[in-house]
Structure 1
Amino acid sequence: MTDSVEGRAAKSGGKRSGGKRQRLMAAAAAVLHERGVERTTIADIARAADVPVGNVYYYFKTKDELVEAALARHAEYLDGLTARLDELDDPRERLKSLVAGWVDGRDVAARYGCPMGTLAVELDKRDEGGLDLAAGLVIRRLLDWVERQYREIGVDGPDGHALALVGAYQGMSLLSSALRDPEVMTREGARLVREIDALA
């Protein structure tokens, strides 16, 4: 993953690829992750998407609509990721591959935290709009998928295991960002993999 907003938007289907709406959605997800909702302007997103600012309003009338689009983009990414992981035969391998993906994103996490976690926390501090609930629904999708893996493994309390794993990811992302230390992700990821391997 690249560190620049424009590079991350391009990698996620943004700049110079796809339609303008898709480029704006990808750019919104990347820019909001790096700068946060309050510091991001529509012009910032337009620039990252390589779309003239005036054209943005054809697709999105307000910044909140762009935030909703970013949430939809995160949901699309998550659905694609879990669909690829579901191609693996063993639910343990699916979970370990999920953790490996988190660790692979350690440099970005060390700088900006978890894309959905940081956005959910920021949106929760706003008084209006209900976007905080929409962010929670995206995180719920991840929890539900992880819970299905634990259920397939046959562990007791698969919902608790799912909360612990996703909570560990949020915690290691937060600490990695707070300490500006990507190796927090590496160490904690290795611990999570050992825990998954130890499941009966």
Structure 2
Amino acid sequence: MTNSANRRARASQKRQRLTAAAARVLHEQGVERTTLADIAREADVPVGNVYYYFKTKDELVQAALSEHTARLDEFTGRLEQLADPRDRLKALVEAWVDQRDIAVRHGCPTGTLAVELDKRAEGTLDAEVGAVIRRLLNWAEGQFRELGLSHPDDLALTLVSAYQGMSLLANALRDPDIMTREGARLLRWLDSLHAHGGHL
């Protein structure tokens, strides 16, 4: 590799480290409380370097959202390897429950970001975080449609709403058991769905 190719590869790795750090710190601290210095520290890069890649905090939030999108796509891509759409949906619920300790401390990464960004007067970031949630809804809807269920869009809405609700309550009440109980109920609900029914 030439020197310039080396430099480009290092710059790309540094940007990726900062993006991943931004996603973590923004989830843990929220947008308003997070500084560029916090993200630099988490990524283990000098704070001056952050400005080279991201001029404003909003650009970092945008990078964090692209990280959430990439993680969601990677995760749903892994779920797609399961032959049965019902098993894919159940694996999604199980993954949510596995993250219950993080939800208790910080809530859902995209849900909490959506609420916080909606409170700001300026910018379009609230619409962008909405697009990440819409992506999950669309994926879930596709699974319900593949199962031949009627109103797959409503079923997807029920599922994702249940997740946002259980994350919010687990966080507000500092109780991971909420995620465990609600997750078990969602798994039973998914098992109960047949071509002509399935209300929670």
TM-score in terms of structure 1 length: 0.91
List alignment gaps of at least 5 residues for structure 1.
1-17
Corresponding letter in the other structure for 1:163: L
1:189 pairs, out of 179, 183, 189, with 183
The whole-number CA distance in structure 1 between the counterparts of 2:142 and 2:107 is: 26
1:63-109 deviations in Å (ceiling 9; x for gaps): 10000000000000000000000010000000000000000000000
* Cα drift, residue 119 of structure 1: 0.2
1:167 pairs, out of 161, 165, 189, with 161
1:65 equivalent in alignment to 2:56: no
Corresponding letter in the other structure for 2:167: S
Runs of 4+ with deviation above 6 angstroms = none
1:131-152 deviations in Å (ceiling 9; x for gaps): 0000000000000000000000
Corresponding letter in the other structure for 2:161: G
1:139 equivalent in structure 2: 133
User: Equivalent residues in 2 for 1:1-200 (5 A)?
Assistant: 19-200=13-194
TM-score in terms of structure 2 length: 0.91
Higher-Rg structure is 2
The whole-number CA distance in structure 2 between the counterparts of 1:56 and 1:33 is: 18
List alignment gaps of at least 5 residues for structure 2.
1-11, 195-200
Q: Residue 19 of structure 1 aligns to a residue in which SS? A: helix
